[in-house]
């Protein structure tokens, strides 16, 4: 069994997840890198990090999520940290109710909500066994304030926030459960937007939030890593949005 702490970071081949994996590895944590599709990028990242491994799995599928946790235990013999970063969205104007079809709702909830649930339920016995297990869910400011890329996305993240609190109450004292809720972060997440629209959104945020800039993946990753060592915090949804939640 590995003596170093072990972290499983879902959706970690790029963006926030990759930044989290790098910071954890820099702190001496052994990391399992994961993605559903970006296999080459995931393997390349794992190759960069000391002792890391890559496991492909789609966490929206319960069988694959369970197998992902099992592979972690097979590789390292323990699991101390679970970071649920895998997520998806659709960019749909909030007033276009027809475009937010039942299929869109199901797709987003399968990944953003059920994916979190599948990995947590599979991981809990191992997190309890570690003696200091913790979960950090990557949510969104859209789950706290009425905004975001689409209504189904925002509602899915609100569900993650409430799941975080419910599980923190249920799993303590053995396992801590917290979440980070980023605002607009400059990552490949916005590749689905027209470049002009993406730049316009970033410029708008940088012009109005109190810290007067768009967030970076490292900004969010630092908050995630801090929560993994914050021994007296559980059930918290930590906004990482440059103060955007303070706006009227």
Residue matched to tokens 């592979």: 71
CA 24/CA 6 separation, integer angstroms = 9
* Nearest by Cα to 134 from 95, 176, 94: 176
State both tokens at 223: 């908050």
Annotated catalytic residue, options 54, 153, 190, 232: 153
Beta bridge partners of 81: 7, 134
CA 48/CA 102 separation, integer angstroms = 40
Contact present, 131 and 123 (Cβ < 8 Å): no
State both tokens at 162: 């409430």
Question: Between the CA of residue 220 and those of 58, 92, 105, 120, 184, what are the distances in Å?
Answer: 23, 24, 26, 21, 11
**190 flagged as catalytic:** no
Q: List active site positions.
A: 153
């Amino acid at each position: 069994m590995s003596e170093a702490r072990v972290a499983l970071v879902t959706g970690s081949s790029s963006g926030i997840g990759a930044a989290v994996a790098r910071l954890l590895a820099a702190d001496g944590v052994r990391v399992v890198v994961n993605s559903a599709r970006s296999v080459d990028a995931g393997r390349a990242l794992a190759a960069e990090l000391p002792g890391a491994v890559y496991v492909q799995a789609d966490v929206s599928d319960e069988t694959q999520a369970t197998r992902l946790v099992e592979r972690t235990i097979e590789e390292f013999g323990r699991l101390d940290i679970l970071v649920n970063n895998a997520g998806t969205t659709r960019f749909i104007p909030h007033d276009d109710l027809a475009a937010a079809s039942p299929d869109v709702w199901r797709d987003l909830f399968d990944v953003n909500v059920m994916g979190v649930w599948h990995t947590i339920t599979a991981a809990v016995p191992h997190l309890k066994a570690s003696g200091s297990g913790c979960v950090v869910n990557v949510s969104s400011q859209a789950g706290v304030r009425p905004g975001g890329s689409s209504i189904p996305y925002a509602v899915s993240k609100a569900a993650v926030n409430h799941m975080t609190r419910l599980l923190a109450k249920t799993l303590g004292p053995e396992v801590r459960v917290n979440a980070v809720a980023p605002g607009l972060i400059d990552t490949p997440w916005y590749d689905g937007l027209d470049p002009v629209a993406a730049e316009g959104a970033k410029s708008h945020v940088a012009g109005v939030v109190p810290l007067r800039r768009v967030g970076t993946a490292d900004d969010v990753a630092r908050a995630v890593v801090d929560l993994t060592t914050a021994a007296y915090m559980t059930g918290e949804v930590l906004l990482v949005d440059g103060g955007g939640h303070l706006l009227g």
